Every structure is written in C-alpha cells, then in structure tokens.
C-alpha cells in the first residue's frame, strides 16, 4: 500500500455498485481502499490517467536575459496618465514584441487606461509581459460594444509569461451597478495559450470574472492577489474551462463569486496554498446545464484556508446533463465560519423557476475529503445531495472535524451517496 499512498491520484475510488439504497455508508478501520485494491491494481475501477505534466520545460520564461529585446509601451506613445486611452500604444508595442525574438513588453510604474484589446499570436518566440505599473479598464460601457466578452485577451500566444508585481484593475463598479441589464463575461482572458506563466500580480475589481483560462495547456499561476467586494456579482477569481495541466499556488482570492471555478473540459488541475474569502469557495461546476455532456477530472486542492465564504469545497451539477466529475481530492483545508464547508449538489438549479426532475445526471465519483477542519456557519457542515438515478460513488471522508461556529455540534445530510469513512470523521451521516 505504500506505492498507493505515494501517488497523487491513486487514492481515488470508483466502484460501480447497485443503487438500491438511498445512502450507503461503510465505516472501515485501517484502510478502506484495501477493499478495492489487490496486486498493485484497483479491482473493478474505471481507469483514467490524471498525471499532471511537469512545468519545468517553461519555468525559465520568468527569467530575464540580456539578449531579450526590451519593448517599452512609453516608446510607442503610451502616456500613463490614467486619462489618455493608451490602447493603440500597447497594440503597437505588442506587435513589435510578438514579431521579435525573445522579447520583454515593459509596462512601467504609471497608470495606463485601456479599452478592450486583444494581444494575438502566434508570436515569433518567447514573450514576457513585465507589468510594474497599473493597467486600468475604461469605464465607458460603449467602448465594449464590439466585444462583450473580453477586456484584455491573449489569444493563441505560446510560451508567454505575465508578471511583475503590478496591478490590473477591471474598474468593475459600473458593470456591477448594471449587472441586471448585462450578460457580458468580461475578463482578463487567456485563450489557447500553451506553456503559460501568470505570477506576482494584483488583479482587482473585475467587470465579471477576473481571470479566465480557456482551451489552454501547461499553465502555472502563482503569487496572485485577486480582490473585489463580497457583493460584486459574478466576479469569479480564477475561472478554468477546457484547460489541462494547470497549477495554481500561493494566491489570495476574495471576490463576490467563486474564488476558483473549474468547469467543463478541465483536467489535471492542482491548487495549493490558496486563501479564499469572501466569496463562494472553490467550485467544480456547474456542469450539465441545458442537458449538456461535460467532463472534469483529476482535480487536487491541497492546502487552503476559507474564511466567511458561502461554500468551502463544492461540486455542483444540473439534472438532465451527462458526463462526469471524477478523480477529485480535497485535502489539508481549514474552514472558518463557512456556511457550507463540504457540499455536493447534483440537483443544482440556478434559475427563477423550479427545475424539473429529470432522469439523467452528471456522474460524481472518486472524491476524497482528507484532513478538513474548522467551523461551519450552518448546522449542516456536510451536504451530499446526489441523484436518485446516478448516486455519488466512491466518496471518502478521512479525518474530518467541523464544529459549529457558535461552539455547538454540526450535522451531515446525505442522500443517494456511496460513502466511506476513514479515521475520525465529524459530522457523520445519519
């Protein structure tokens, strides 16, 4: 079993059992996984590769070299006075950097105002965007009439590093005030960017999502501060969709929505040393809306602190969808005054009218909760609201201790879940 313990993803359970009972709970002693592990392989498990690729191949992107071409936005007409539109100057500087060999696009310590802009690739070689100043979004909503989905967008740029200790300010107040009238998804977006590093930046007051990673591979994110008021609508901190092999570390995120949201097509995601609050916690999903078929797999959250959030670690799926959320591990997590510390909801319904009961569902399987402690703001610290037709399977709770914030005990609500206990677990399902 030592080989099993040493592998990141080998702790995931999947065992196709009949769903003849609403809630199946197995309380085991030393090692529940031994029920399904024999001769170095899993017995009856669905096999799935979830190896996160090494990012060492492009770590050197963060290092400046004397041979790199320095491209300063001021040399191309940027004023940096916080009033003048510097979009054209940034675009000219980008075109020079992109067409050069290894280049550094320099954003000095001034305040630059930008309208929506797309930095397009492919580029000739590696690019570092060195931001030491502040980039601020235009607050004129008419400036976004041509593209209602993006503010700053990096499109098809490989071997890109964005860093420097500066600030990217979405100036989102005007959007929050009009959120009931708009359905934009404005964000700092990285689209089809492979071998990407984003580090040591403050990203604040996003119009909606702060950072969005789409259809990319081999991404490393570290040392970010992401901030927006707790009542700002739809301001996810980091949003991941159709992206593989992504690592998020050493980041502080507090917004009006999910600190990290992981949706369809995302695979091999590791989040470590995350501080979350305010916000809606770390969410996998929602998945399966509009009867869609969606997949998420190979997720590890290892080392996180949640404070005052509406959720801690959450998986949410709509009825009527299909696909799966599988091979997921939440471990070494501290909760402080969190309303729903541990929650799986296969009956998610985020609409004004009640959702109809449907027979199909996104399957949830192979989920481990390990070493999660702290306090809950609600009586039910653990909620498993799973599908009648596709119960949650292979759910493991190990070393869980969640007390009520006021000092009392907490409860667990468990419906249609195949559950296993390991070590001391509080609260238990009834």
With contact defined as beta carbons under 8 Å apart, do 277 and 308 qualify?
A: yes
Give me the phi and psi of 6, to 5 degrees please: -80, -15
With contact defined as beta carbons under 8 Å apart, do 298 and 50 qualify?
A: yes
Average pLDDT for 343-370: 91
Which position among 280, 336, 404, 428 bears the catalytic label? 280
5-9, 178-182, 392-396, 426-430 — which is least confidently predicted?
Answer: 5-9
Q: Any catalytic annotation for residue 7? A: no
Per the model's pLDDT, the better-predicted residue between 315 and 3 turns out to be 315
Please, how many CA atoms are within 13 Å of residue 244, restricted to the half-sphere of its CB?
10
Give CA torsion, residues 403, 409, 412, 413, to 10 deg. Answer: -130
**Which pLDDT tens digit goes with each residue over 237-279?**
999 999 999 999 999 999 999 999 999 999 999 999 999 999 9
Q: Quick one: pLDDT at residue 363? A: 97
Q: Quick one: pLDDT at residue 86? A: 98
Q: Quick one: pLDDT at residue 66? A: 61
Cβ-in-10-Å burial (0-12, 13-18, 19+) of 178 comes to: exposed
Average pLDDT for 199-228: 97
Q: Quick one: pLDDT at residue 148? A: 74
- Report the percentage of the chain scoring pLDDT > 70: 83
144-148, 215-219, 408-412 — which is least confidently predicted?
Answer: 144-148
Q: Quick one: pLDDT at residue 32? A: 40
Confidence grade of residue 184 (pLDDT, cut at 50, 70, 90): low
Domains of the chain, CATH where assigned = 1-47+260-430 (2.160.20.10), 62-257 (2.160.20.10)
Q: Quick one: pLDDT at residue 25? A: 53
Q: Quick one: pLDDT at residue 190? A: 97
**Which pLDDT tens digit goes with each residue over 26-66?**
444 334 444 333 443 333 333 333 344 444 444 445 565 66
Q: Quick one: pLDDT at residue 9? A: 40
In whole angstroms, what is the distance from residue 272 CA to residue 304 CA?
Answer: 7
Q: Quick one: pLDDT at residue 178? A: 78
């Amino acid at each position: 079993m030592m080989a099993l313990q040493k592998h990141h993803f080998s702790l995931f359970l999947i065992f196709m059992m009949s769903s003849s009972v609403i809630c199946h709970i197995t309380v085991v002693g030393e090692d529940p996984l031994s029920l399904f592990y024999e001769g170095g392989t899993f017995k009856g498990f669905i096999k799935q590769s979830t190896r996160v690729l090494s990012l060492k191949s492009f770590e050197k992107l963060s290092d400046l070299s004397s041979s790199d071409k320095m491209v300063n936005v001021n040399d191309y007409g940027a004023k940096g006075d916080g009033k003048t539109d510097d979009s054209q100057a940034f675009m000219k500087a980008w075109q020079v950097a992109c067409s050069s060999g290894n280049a550094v696009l320099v954003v000095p310590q001034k305040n630059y105002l930008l309208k929506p802009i797309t930095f397009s690739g492919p580029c000739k070689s590696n690019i570092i965007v060195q931001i030491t100043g502040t980039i601020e979004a235009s607050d004129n909503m008419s400036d976004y009439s041509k593209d209602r989905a993006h503010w700053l967008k990096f499109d098809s740029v490989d071997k890109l590093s964005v860093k420097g200790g500066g600030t990217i300010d979405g100036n989102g107040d005007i959007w929050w005030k009009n959120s009931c009238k708009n359905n934009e998804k404005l964000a700092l977006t990285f689209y089809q960017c492979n071998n990407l590093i984003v580090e040591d930046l403050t990203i604040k007051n996003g119009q909606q999502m702060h950072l969005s990673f789409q259809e990319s591979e081999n991404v490393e994110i570290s040392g970010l501060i992401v901030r927006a008021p707790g009542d700002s609508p739809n301001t996810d901190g980091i949003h991941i969709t159709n992206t593989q092999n992504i690592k998020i570390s050493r980041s502080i995120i507090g917004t009006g929505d999910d600190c990290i949201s992981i949706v369809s097509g995302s695979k091999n995601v590791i989040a470590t040393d995350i501080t979350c609050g305010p916000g809606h916690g770390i969410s996998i999903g929602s998945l399966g809306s509009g009867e869609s078929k969606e997949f998420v797999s190979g997720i590890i959250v290892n080392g996180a602190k949640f404070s005052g959030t509406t959720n801690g670690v959450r998986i949410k799926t709509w009825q009527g969808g299909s696909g799966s959320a599988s091979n997921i591990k939440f471990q070494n997590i501290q909760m402080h005054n969190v309303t729903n510390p541990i929650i799986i909801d296969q009956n998610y319904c985020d609409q004004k009218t009640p959702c109809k009961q449907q027979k199909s569902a996104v399957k949830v399987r192979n989920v481990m909760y390990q070493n999660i402690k702290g306090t809950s703001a609600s009586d039910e610290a653990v909620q498993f609201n799973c599908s009648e037709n596709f119960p949650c399977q292979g759910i493991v709770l190990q070393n869980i201790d969640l007390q009520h914030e006021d000092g009392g005990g907490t409860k667990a609500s468990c419906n249609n879940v195949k559950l296993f206990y390991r070590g001391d677990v509080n609260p238990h399902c009834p």
